[in-house]
Structure formats: structure tokens, C-alpha cells
Structure 1
């Protein structure tokens, strides 16, 4: 029989960098939960906007970890390593949770003891207005590796994960300047089922000037994530074929974009990337 999953062993990790004006919204949404976590960690990734003063003067119950600016992956990883909880709940510093987020999630995890990770529905806010997520971001649960390939369908702020998963597959890849979450969900979903809660438990804010996700060139990091997963010994036949198809598609789109921008050397490189993973007629790698 599986042990009872308890909020007494949950660490919330909030990475932040120069978001002093937004951070209180995230923190207050954690502190206003109907069921409180055992620990809240803010990892300050080298902020220069008074984040430390904010935490120390207004959020004394929050554990502050400071580091030089190294990026969100290193910040999350530092939080995971320092966390006391068996369960890790991520919250980006510009997002917020609905009040019953943790209560509903842990009720579901206790009802589904074979799952070590869950994610949920979310409300999207873009430039101050609620918008409908595009159909390609439709969420689901179970063994969803193939569903995770086209886009990053899991938002970090919706995720609760048992730390044993990190012990098995490793931490966030800090060499990726973007798409580090896409890479993580691929590595997890190829080995673990993911519980999906349709409840809208997180508010995801988009449209900040510093966000990288909509800039041209970010797909290079998704391509690297796909290259990594295609080398995984856990990838099965149909999953390999699906991952290769997405890699081929993304490389083609990226190469065309590079060519339009006069980056011919880069275009030629990405045109050939997928060839190293091609299958012969028997379904084996060449």
C-alpha cells in the first residue's frame, strides 16, 4: 500500500530575478492556500531590485536562497537541492495559484497513488486580459510523451512532483537558455505517467518584456532537447518515430527562418541535424 501523501512534506520553490513588483502576488497566493505547504523557498537569481529586502521585511516565514545570476534552471535546481520536502511544487514568480491548488492536488495524488507527478489546468492572462489557450496546448494525462513533443504543454507553475523523480532522471538542464521545462517534461514523460487535473488551479501571466518564449531562435533549444531524448534508451519504437518526426519538422522550420534572416551557415547546419537519427527500412537507426 502506498503511503499517504501529506502537505506536511511539500516545498514550494519560486525562482525569481528582478521581479520585486510581481513576487508578492505569487507569494500571497501560496500563503493564502486552504492547505499550507511545509516550506516556501524563494531562490533569488541575482536580483538588484530589492528582492532580498522585500522577503526579509514582509515575508519572514519564507526561506530565501540567494545566488549570482545563473538562470532559472540553476535557480530551480538550487531550490530542489535545498528543499526539505519530499514533494516539490513549482511556482514562477510572475504567476499565482488559486486558493485550493494544493488541497485539490494532494487529494488527487492520494486518490491516484501510482503517480509521482501531477499538473493541472490553468487560466491564461495576456497583457491584462484573459485569453483562451491555443488548441495545440490542450492538456492531458497518463503516458503523454507523444503529446508533449509538439509544444511545452505542461506549465511549471502547475506541477507538483516527488523528489525521487529528480533522483532518477536528473535536474533541469542548465545548459539550455530556454525550453528547459520542455526538456524536463520529455525526460519525465518517457518514463512516468503524469496525472492531469482539469481544475483551473493556476493563473499564468504572459506578455512580459523579458520573456524569451516568443522570440525567434528559441526553437534551437527545443531541438537540442529532442536530440537528447532521441538518444534515451527508454524511448520505444513508436515514441522514437514520433520524436524524430517533430525534430525533423522543427529543424526544417528553424532552417527556413535562419535562411530568411541571411544566416546561411546556421540554416545548413539545422537542415542536416535530423539525419543522424534517421531509421532504415527495418525500423532501426542507420
Structure 2
């Protein structure tokens, strides 16, 4: 990737919490004004040592204003070919030097004190390898309440993670070594790469929580990935079947993952049938294979991989 002159730029240091620097990664594709706002919300964090790495995921708009802002602050700037947010976050993480990692989507922003509060949470619980905070949600200009299934919580979140994303990439701070152990975001997934990663993380790790709402999350944009990729449950189904291939799931975890996979296959089949799409038959076949409880998950995974780039 092309690297800006500040790619290993100096951290914004408060002089507190020595040795626990947080590397913050912001991927962006276009959205210049929104990205400028996101970057500003990081640069104004106090009470924690951090470095910022902004990754331009092959923007077609002029990224000059972002690069200038980042390099004036002596922070890191990378430019990569356009491959999506997962590969862009991974590229930023590979250039990170902090013991902790944090991510911020380009259309979200952080409230003051976000990093400081989460760093305190992790220092108070040395065995904790990741923690998150709660969020304020907007749809366009209107504030909305997050659905209960998406409300950030703590503890053993594996069961909830099978159903829906219950860790927000913009809210989490995690051990950089843990991110490496997990292999980062799965770059095969064009969307739902966050669902996949946090599902794998929650399989073996408890999640800490700072209960304050320290992330402002904005939705409803025309360019949101969810609008570009319909039937997103096919990507979540892929993540679940991939997880079922792991031999170290507990009996309870395997049951929860299989139950969620069957349900998502059923929903996909019903949705495709309602739209008259030929893919309905494929999803019904996936559901039948999963219900048998005996099929080779690798066979299902291979067939699903073909569906990720096909008609939903």
C-alpha cells in the first residue's frame, strides 16, 4: 500500500497509562466530510496514549483534505486498492504499534473520553482482552433507539453473537495480540466481516463493557454496504458454517451455532422464494443439510462460498 509520510507518526500522548498505547484505525472510501469529522473526534481524545492510522480504501474522490489533516497531526495515512472495510482495517492493524487496537467507521464518531474510559476498564480487569461501550444511534438526522438485540452488553456473548452483531467495531478496544490470533477480519467477506470476527472472538473470550454511550453511530446513507449487498444473512450463514468446522466448540456452542445457521438458511430460502429467485432452492438445500446434523460442514461451506458472489 501507498504510505503517507506520517504512517508511523507520533502518538497523541497524555502522559498517562504508559506502555498501553492504543492504535486507532479508520478505514474510509470517499465520504470525505464524514471522515474528517471522524478523524477530528479521535484527535480530540484525551487521557490515553494513542496513534491514529487512517486507511484510504482506494477512494475515487480527492482524499487530499483527509491526508493533509492526518499528516499535520503527525499521524499515519495509508492508501490501498479498493477492497472493502475488512481488508482496509487489516492493513491498518498491520501498521499498528500499540498493544491495543480500536476501530472507527468513517461515518461514526467518538465522544470525548471514549478511549480513556475503556483503557481504565481494561486496566481494572487485567485478564480482559476486549471491551466495548454503548452507542447513540442516528438514522439521517433523527436519533433512534438501538434494537434490544443490538444493545451493547458484557460477559459471555457467544449465544447472542450467533443471532446478530452484538459488538460494534466502532465501540470496541481489544488486545492487538488477540486480533492477530484471530487472523483479523476475513477478507473473503464483502460485508458482515464484523459479525464473523466478533463471533470467533466471543467463542473463547468474555467482553467487558463501559456503560456510557461514547460512540455516535450514523446510518441511513445511500452508500451503506447493506444497500449494496441484499440478503446479507448469506454472509452470516457462511460465518456460522465456517465456525462449525472448528473442533474446539463446546457442545452448547455447537448447538447454538447450528440453530442459528438453520434459521438463517430458512430465512434466506423464504426471502428468495418470495422474490422468485432460483437461489431459493440452494438455500433450502443448505437448510436440509444443516438439519441432518451429519453433513460435512466443509461441503456446505464450499457451496456457500459460491453463493457469496452470486445472485442473492
TM-score if structure 1 supplies the norm length?
A: 0.91
* Structure 1 residue aligned with 2:212: 199
Q: Which runs of 4+ in 1 moved over 3 A?
A: 4-8, 274-280
Q: Does 1:15 align with 2:27?
A: yes
Taking a change above 3 Å as real, the CA distance of residues 152 and 58 of structure 1, as seen in their structure-2 partners, is closer
Write the mapping of 1:33-72 to structure 2, written as runs, cut at 5 A. 33-56=45-68, 59-60=71-72, 61-72=74-85
* Structure 1 residue aligned with 2:138: 125
Q: Please, which runs of 5 or more residues in structure 1 have no aligned partner?
A: none
**Counterpart Cα distance in 1 of 2:70 and 2:190:** 31
Q: 2:247 aligns with which of 205, 209, 233?
A: 233
Equivalent residues of 1:116, 1:165 under 8 A apart = yes
Q: 2:176 aligns with which of 163, 166, 186?
A: 163
Please report how far the alpha carbon of residue 91 of structure 1 lies from its aligned counterpart in structure 2 after TM superposition.
0.5
Q: Does 1:223 align with 2:237?
A: yes
* Structure 1 residue aligned with 2:303: none
Q: 2:122 aligns with which of 106, 109, 115?
A: 109
Taking a change above 3 Å as real, the CA distance of residues 41 and 57 of structure 1, as seen in their structure-2 partners, is closer
Write the mapping of 1:81-160 to structure 2, written as runs, cut at 5 A. 81-160=94-173
Deviations 1:111-167 (A, max 9, x none): 111111111100001111110011221322112100111111211000111111123
Equivalent residues of 1:7, 1:38 under 8 A apart = no
Deviations 1:212-253 (A, max 9, x none): 235631111011011111112221111111111111111111
**Counterpart Cα distance in 2 of 1:57 and 1:197:** 30
**Counterpart Cα distance in 2 of 1:120 and 1:229:** 26
Please report how far the alpha carbon of residue 6 of structure 1 lies from its aligned counterpart in structure 2 after TM superposition.
4.6
Q: Which moved more, 1:271-280 or 1:133-142?
A: 271-280
Deviations 1:69-102 (A, max 9, x none): 1111110000111111111110111100010101
Please report how far the alpha carbon of residue 255 of structure 1 lies from its aligned counterpart in structure 2 after TM superposition.
0.6
Equivalent residues of 1:20, 1:54 under 8 A apart = yes
Equivalent residues of 1:20, 1:51 under 8 A apart = yes
Equivalent residues of 2:157, 2:166 under 8 A apart = no
Q: Please, which runs of 5 or more residues in structure 2 have no aligned partner?
A: 1-15, 297-312
Write the mapping of 1:70-81 to structure 2, written as runs, cut at 5 A. 70-81=83-94
Please report how far the alpha carbon of residue 52 of structure 1 lies from its aligned counterpart in structure 2 after TM superposition.
3.3
Partner secondary structure for residue 133 of structure 1: coil
Please report how far the alpha carbon of residue 58 of structure 1 lies from its aligned counterpart in structure 2 after TM superposition.
6.3
Please report how far the alpha carbon of residue 47 of structure 1 lies from its aligned counterpart in structure 2 after TM superposition.
0.8
**Counterpart Cα distance in 2 of 1:124 and 1:110:** 28
**Counterpart Cα distance in 2 of 1:46 and 1:269:** 34
Equivalent residues of 1:29, 1:96 under 8 A apart = yes
**Counterpart Cα distance in 2 of 1:54 and 1:135:** 35
Deviations 1:12-45 (A, max 9, x none): 0000000111111111111111224431000000
Taking a change above 3 Å as real, the CA distance of residues 95 and 57 of structure 1, as seen in their structure-2 partners, is closer
**Counterpart Cα distance in 2 of 1:234 and 1:5:** 36
